[in-house]
Chain A
Amino acid sequence: MTSPGDSGTRETWPLWEVFLRSSRGLSHVHAGSLHAPDSTMAVRNARDLYTRRGEGVSIWVVPASAITASDPDAKGEFFESPQGKEYRHATYYTASETVPHL
């Protein structure tokens, strides 16, 4: 992965992450990445590369350097902590017979 400033020849063409929402889609989904000199050109390049200019599509571009990701090595602490804590879910509890409409 190249990021802004990684390579001498690429420094003016940083990496952008592209998120698309299709005309009937509910949310923007990560579609891929591309290089562009600025955000304006990134949106245009994303239109060419990922939408074939299909109508009714919304595009977000974000400089890759603006995204902070969770640490894969810390997966355990980050994502496994709910295990063995079923009491955090509503289904863990039995409904009281005296409350019919819960």
Chain B
Amino acid sequence: MIPKSSRAVSTALTPEAIAASIASAETAASEPVARYALGLGDDALVLAHRLGEWIANAPELEEDVALGNIGLDLLGHARSFLTYAGSAWGRSEDDLAYFRGESDYRNRQLFEQPSGDFAHTIARQLFASAYFDALYRALQRSTDPTLAAIAAKATKEVDYHLDHSVQWLLRLGLGTAESHRRMQRGVDAMWPFVGELFSPEPEADAGGALEGVAVDPESLRAAFDELVPRLITDAGLAVPTIPFAWGGGREGRHTEALGPMLAEMQVLARAHPGVTW
């Protein structure tokens, strides 16, 4: 085992540190920044929940740990963004996670897609991680110091997530005839939700309030298009030509998958509102 002293001491921004600086009135998001942070937080929260569904169901014990790890990282990102977003409205991360209905969730639709088989999950994670990778690299240069700090911490973690997805994309794509077929199906199933990732942030449209603060999603498309189709081809798979879905997650329009997911996520908090756990 690793001796305690050799563990890396994290100096990165934690959700608790954000909450503390909000409590001492050093940090509060403006309304447009809060709405932007809410969207990013919801993306991470919803995907973290989907990965949590794999616990004890993964193909191997080691993969159980890997998917759990990625889910934990994403939940950390979600907590930071939601804590920061809530500072504008006096609401905690838990208020935002548990007491908003489906139409108030702002996640893009890719993240709420059901996990399906392992290949579906890897395809969803590949697209998500390639998008997050480009997003957080750019967001580190945000003029909002809290968003920049959250992104700086997340970037390192997302590097690892992307690597994990690429490894499995290659193994399944170049594995057996059956794994190849399933990986192609997974890529095809998740592909329609790629387009929405690069559609404008509704809040960024409103009067330039987020100029220099938010990342223009359209600017992330080149990095994604340069990387992902090449990875799919390297795995011996076909890049889908399926048209993109309408999207609308950032406006609260979701696929039918999100409602049941939130029902499960929120049941306890809604049955016993206001308690401390």
Residues of B within 8 A of A23 (CB): 6, 8
Residues of B within 8 A of A40 (CB): 167
Residues of A within 8 A of B167 (CB): 40-41, 44
Asked if B3 and A22 make an inter-chain contact with CB atoms under 8 angstroms apart, the answer reads: yes
- How many residues of chain B have a CB within 8 Å of chain A? 18
Q: Is A5 an interface residue (CB 8 A)?
A: no
Which residue, B2, B60, B164, has most C-beta atoms of chain A within 10 A?
Answer: B2
Q: Is B61 an interface residue (CB 8 A)?
A: yes
**Further pairs besides A22-B2, A48-B62, A49-B62: 17, Cβ < 8 Å:** A24-B5, A24-B6, A25-B6, A31-B2, A34-B62, A36-B62, A41-B167, A44-B163, A44-B167, A45-B62, A45-B65, A48-B65, A48-B66, A49-B65, A50-B2, A54-B6, A57-B6
Asked if A56 and B8 make an inter-chain contact with CB atoms under 8 angstroms apart, the answer reads: yes
A53 to chain B, nearest CB (A): 7
5 closest pairs, A vs B, by CB? Answer: A22-B6, A45-B62, A55-B8, A54-B8, A54-B7
Residues of B within 8 A of A13 (CB): 60
Q: Can you list 19 A-B contacts with CB-CB less than 8 angstroms, sorted by A residue number?
A: A22-B2, A22-B6, A23-B8, A35-B61, A35-B62, A36-B62, A41-B167, A41-B171, A44-B66, A44-B163, A45-B62, A45-B66, A49-B62, A51-B2, A52-B7, A53-B69, A55-B8, A56-B8, A57-B6
Docked Cα-Cα span, A53 to B157, in Å, equals 9
Which residue, A25, A48, A54, has most C-beta atoms of chain B within 10 A?
Answer: A48
Residues of A within 8 A of B (CB): 13, 20, 22-25, 31, 34-37, 40-41, 44-45, 48-57
Which residue, B6, B61, B66, B167, has most C-beta atoms of chain A within 10 A?
Answer: B6
Docked Cα-Cα span, A39 to B102, in Å, equals 43
Partner of B171, one of A35, A37, A45, A52: A37
Number of A-B contacts (CB under 8 A): 50
Q: Is B222 an interface residue (CB 8 A)?
A: no
Docked Cα-Cα span, A34 to B63, in Å, equals 11
Residues of A within 8 A of B62 (CB): 34-36, 41, 45, 48-49
Docked Cα-Cα span, A37 to B163, in Å, equals 16
Q: Is B244 an interface residue (CB 8 A)?
A: no
Asked if A54 and B164 make an inter-chain contact with CB atoms under 8 angstroms apart, the answer reads: no
Q: Is B1 an interface residue (CB 8 A)?
A: yes
Q: Is B99 an interface residue (CB 8 A)?
A: no
Docked Cα-Cα span, A50 to B2, in Å, equals 7
Residues of A within 8 A of B164 (CB): 44
Residues of A within 8 A of B65 (CB): 45, 48-49
Q: Is B89 an interface residue (CB 8 A)?
A: no
B160 to chain A, nearest CB (A): 7
Residue of A nearest to B68 (CB): A48
Residues of A within 8 A of B2 (CB): 20, 22, 31, 50-51, 54, 57
Partner of B1, one of A31, A34, A36, A57: A31
Residues of A within 8 A of B163 (CB): 44
Residues of B within 8 A of A41 (CB): 62, 167, 171
B231 to chain A, nearest CB (A): 15
Docked Cα-Cα span, A57 to B26, in Å, equals 36
Residue of A nearest to B3 (CB): A22
Question: Using a CB-CB cutoff of 8 Å, which residues 1-59 of chain B contact chain A?
Answer: 1-3, 5-8
